[in-house]
Structure 1
Amino acid sequence: MPRTSPAIVEAQLRRFLTEDMPPGETRLPDERSLAHKFDCSRETLRKALGVLESEGLLWRHVGQGTFLGVRPRHLPIRETVLVEGATPRDVMAARLLLEPQVAAEAARHAGPEEVVLLRRRVAQGRRARALSECEAADDAFHRAIAAVSGNPVLAGFLSFLSGARRRIAWQREWDRTYRRIGVEEFRTLHSDQHDAIVQAVAEGTPERAEAAMRRHLRTIEAAMTPASGS
């Protein structure tokens, strides 16, 4: 039976936000994981989250998760509907337009600490042993690039696209792709490409970072094309 009181959960959650959130991360773990971590019911957890949300420390979006900071004032009301209607091809087209520019911005703004964070994300991908670990590592890497760009608007767009990648249509194609190419390709080719992006960011060369990100996304697009039958 859950033993932790709401007041203790609230205190633990505050400490988690200030001390345990990985640098560059803005999305909290899902409710099930947090409830297990704090040894409480999800109802108790939601009460604590509600208190912190009322203080502007975080905000929640049904179906997408809980995020650090104040809720965006102009969050589209029907964005989940737009995401549900997006095909994997739509998502890839948006990523190819946006993410190379985000990588270029990261190269312009990254300092030594940010480079360490990015290299840690690459290492996380190389350690992946299962599809779910590959997916989590890939998402963490691309979110970190967005955070390092230093532009909260760009980071917000990338967060939106990350949400789209968790929807059913994209997830189905992702699963089919990785069943075909296997985890090993993610740990090698994809992680090598992540590393090339980080190297360009570390060198402060926006053009190379942009090109490296575009090559990486083209690799993903090519891998998913047979799976989508196009």
Structure 2
Amino acid sequence: MKQDQVIAALRLRVEAAGGSGTRLPAERGLAALLGCSRQSLRTALAVLEAEGALWRHVGQGTFLGPRPRGLPLRETVLLTATSPAQLMQARLIVEPPVAAEAARAAVPADLVRLEALLAQGRHARNRPEAEQADAAFHRAVAETAGNPVLLGLLDYLSGARRRAAWQQEWERTYRRIGVAEFTAVHSDQHAAVVAAIAAGDAARAEAAMRAHLNTFAAAMATPISPQTLPAPAHSAARRR
């Protein structure tokens, strides 16, 4: 295939791939799709990158649209390439030490707010309310830590909750364990984090947050079975 044909084929692939921020397949796979060598592909990628149709980041991939200004990688791009399992792994690395910092930095006003959010979580009536309460609680812990860099990082990770992949996983988990899990077990775990922060016990706060996130990570990893799905309304009506 001639180089101009490779460029034309790549243009068509880019036009059909989606909006700005969409990640293209890796070079090996993309070359196979276009039926060209990787060297020819790289030349074509360079042409389209010069035109602003795409941009490349070493170790991350090739993305549609112009290169972001000021940052090598936009939040939407990174989170698009992140799976729910990878997100939970990142949260397990970041959030327990943040809880420890919160225990060191908390003032009475922080504890009042954490207790209020804990109560909000216990009274969640459905999935959106449970998710909103959970997100607000974890953000409040980061705010209590008092480090804007840590807060920004937690906000960055929380952006993944808006992605379809996370929402589907959350819905699957919620349907399996139900609202009682979030208002009881998970709220009890939030309470353990708050108690440790209130006591100024950094090690206990870190351990409590890690235990909580591990519980949720395990719940998300458990395959759903037909027996755990709620029965359709018409089936319930027939049983009555």
Both proteins in one fold, TM over 0.5: yes
1:70-101 Cα deviation digits (max 9, x unpaired): xxx96554221110110011000000000000
1:113 aligns with 2:109: yes
Q: What secondary structure, in the 3-state scheme, does the structure 1 residue paired with 2:195 have?
A: helix
Where 2:221 maps in the other structure, the secondary structure is helix
What secondary structure does 2:206 align onto?
helix
1:177 paired to 2:135: no
4+ residue segments displaced more than 4 Å: 73-77
Q: How far has the Cα of 1:168 moved from its partner?
A: 1.1
The answer on whether the counterparts of 1:91 and 1:165 sit within 8 Å (CA) in structure 2 is no
* Alignment match, 2:188: 192
**1:128 and 2:150 aligned:** no
Q: Which secondary structure state, in structure 1, belongs to the residue aligned with residue 222 of structure 2? A: helix
Q: Aligned-residue CA RMSD in angstroms?
A: 1.7
| Other-structure match for 1:66 | none
AA at the equivalent of 1:82: L
Q: Which has the larger Rg?
A: 2
Match of 1:205 in 2: 201
Count residues in correspondence.
157
Q: Does 1:158 align with 2:157?
A: no
Aligned to 1:23: none
Matched, 1:224 2:188: no
For 1:164 and 1:142, locate their aligned partners in 2 and report how far apart those are by CA, in whole Å.
Answer: 14
TM-score scaled by length of structure 2 = 0.63
- Measured in 2, the distance between the counterparts of 1:122 and 1:74 equals 38
Contact 2:189 2:208 in 1 (8 A): yes
- Consecutive unaligned residues of structure 2, counting only runs of 5 or more, are 1-68, 226-240
Equivalent AA in structure 2 for residue 217 of structure 1: L
Q: Report the more deviating stretch, 182-191 or 77-86.
A: 77-86
In structure 1, how many angstroms separate the alpha carbons of the residues matched to 2:93 and 2:223? 22
After superposition, the C-alpha distances for 1:165-202 in whole angstroms (9 at most, x for unaligned) are: 22111111010000000001100000000000000000
1:226 positional shift = 1.7
Distance in 1 between residues matched to 2:167 and 2:215, nearest whole Å: 17
Partner of residue 94, structure 2: 98
The DSSP-based 3-state class of the residue aligned with 2:184 is helix
Partner of 2:76: 80
8 Å contact from structure 2 (residues 99, 209) kept in 1: yes
